[in-house]
Structure 1
Amino acid sequence: MIPRHDPEQISFASDNYSGAHPEVLAALAVANGGHQTSYGADAYTAALPELFAPLFGEGIEVYPVWNGTGANVVGLMSLTDRWSGVVCSDMAHINTDEGGAPERVGGLKLLAVPTPDGKLTPELVDRVAIAFEDEHRARPTVLSLTQSTELGTVYTPAEVTALAAHAHGLGMSVQMDGARIANAAASLGVPVRAFTRDAGVDVLSFGGTKNGMVFGEALVVLNPAVVRGVLYLRKLTTQLSSKTRFISAQLEALLTDDLWLRGATHANAMAARLAAAIEGLPGIELTAPVQANGVFPRLPRAVVEATQQRFGYYLWDESDPQRPVARWMCTFDTTEADVDAFAAAVRESARPS
């Protein structure tokens, strides 16, 4: 096959832009031999609860799905009724980047709260988690947290524990969108269960595509007592792959020798390197702490025009057209040379003429 892209071209636009990790591709080749039962009744999928147990403990359920939106929608639907509302940050992926899937497919009402740093607090939850017995309003049933957030900020275990306890005290369940959960774990330096299961999270979307998988994520049910009908919901939302073994084999590769954590640790380090390299440049300021694999700088328009096409990145906020906020994402295959070349171009374009 003739390559239709330049494999030397590196982008800072999204951690979805990267290819697959070689260890993941090797796992796919292993799983490809011979025949296995379809629709999740295969040996690779059957092994997932045992493989995830070192991260989250025994008694969990693991359901491979096609993508992060699917993991979120199935997880939320398993915790809700048709009259339910889901409390989330206004920046949450379920609110801004899933095409209305939780509402259109899941039939849920999102109760979004403005969050300047992407993180909810019990006080912010209380702004919309009200009127539980009012038939004229969606009943707040689930609190959805994103870890790490869309701004690259990270909830500490204490913050998740406080939020989960508050939600449970209101009779709500807790779902976590962990599309970048590996980056959060690498940032915090604690076992992942410390800010998930042990902190009171009931259902988790465990990300893989942004961390070296070709496709697929995992819906991890940490508290099976509170969910209903996951098997049926996965099928009716078109998230059940006939050849599920190829998702499960990739997940196994991520979990082997902590590949999931190694890749995220590297991505975070590259983001920190990039932030340090541009810090203090004239007209440039970081708008959010660099805690995971994303950098959100406010830039002069001249810097954007000089660098965006060459290195590739998105503008996050253009409310000030002359000084927009950019989003720079690093991933498992971002190199120090990539970062240094990008930073050099930014420095050159930011230099006063």
Structure 2
Amino acid sequence: MNAQRLRGLMRKEFLQILRDPSAIAIAFVMPVFLLFLFGYGVSLDAKRVPIAVVVHQPTAETSALIGGLQESPYFQPRVYASIRGAEQAVMTRRANGVVWLRSDFSRRLLQGNTASIGVLVDGVDANNARILEGYLQGVWQNWLRQRALHAGTPLIVPVHDEYRIWFNPALRSRDYLVPGLIAVIMTLIGALLTALVVAREWEHGTMEALMATPVGMGEILLGKLIPYFFMGMGGMLLSVALAVWLFAVPLVGSFWVLLFCSALFLLVALGMGLLISSVARNQFVAGQIAIIVTFLPAFILSGFIFDIQSMPAAVRVITHAVAARYFVSILQTVFLAGDVWPILLWNSLALGLMAALFLGLTLHRSHKRLD
């Protein structure tokens, strides 16, 4: 390893980066675009849900319940005269559910009997249906408490639940999605940058010219790894800054722990990209392999959106081979819970082993010959 040759190779890569706007776009423009897309366009929260309300006999009690729905930020109620019209609204996707107050609702309530409320929920989106059902239960319980308070009578409930939400008390899906998105962004930056750039050199013939020089294969790989490592870390810092200052995601843990773990994961992503480029010497093929092998597993099997524990056992085993799984766990822990060392150390160890594996395989497969 010659320091002077290594500096020359790094200088060549930095000059090539400055002359190639696509590499800068992947490292700095793409993270901003994805963060805006997911931060503002994707939400797992159910708010302002259109819901149909059928009241056969309007009374003070039914008006109070409808008022509770109108005051809730989660619903946009619309009153229908008949259950048939409300069902048609659900069928045509103009409403996500129906609250049905029958004609004997107020009478049975005033007589002290059991008064039932009919609730129909669109179950096409099962997750949204469960959230909607929970919100309706909350409005119903709040209406019962307000009614008991105005009547001066105690509300008799056999079980009182007292719950506390840890780590994300506001239940904002953005606080959960944005940290995980950083792992997807860094996967794309690391794998795509190295895979495409090295494949481009093979296509343009500059790699053959480089191999005719006295530089060793280790120097070539390191000369490409270091510049793109700094670019990837720059993209990570930009993503973290947007997450904290633009999307108001709390960073509870240590920034230096986050920086160290991000560097480990970026080495894994760069190692995967270099390994792909050693197999595919065509930009199109390298890009397709990078998306299939790195981006899709990071998006689907990392726990970024889909819960790993809810997956089948065979798929859960496969997720252990996805590096983004460990980094997503680190990001969500550092951002929302803090420096929980049992989680951080175990996942960092897994990333370190995977970085050594991919970089070692790349060095093993890379030879200073044209075949």
Question: What range describes the TM-score normalised by the shorter chain of this pair?
Answer: under 0.3
Looking at both structures, which has the greater relative contact order when contacts are Cα pairs under 8 Å and sequence separation is at least 6?
Answer: 1
Structure number having the greater strand percentage: 1
TM-score under structure 2 length normalisation:
0.22
For the pair shown, the structure with the greater C-alpha radius of gyration is 2
Q: Please state which structure has a larger fraction of its residues in helix.
A: 2
Q: TM-score, normalised by structure 1?
A: 0.23
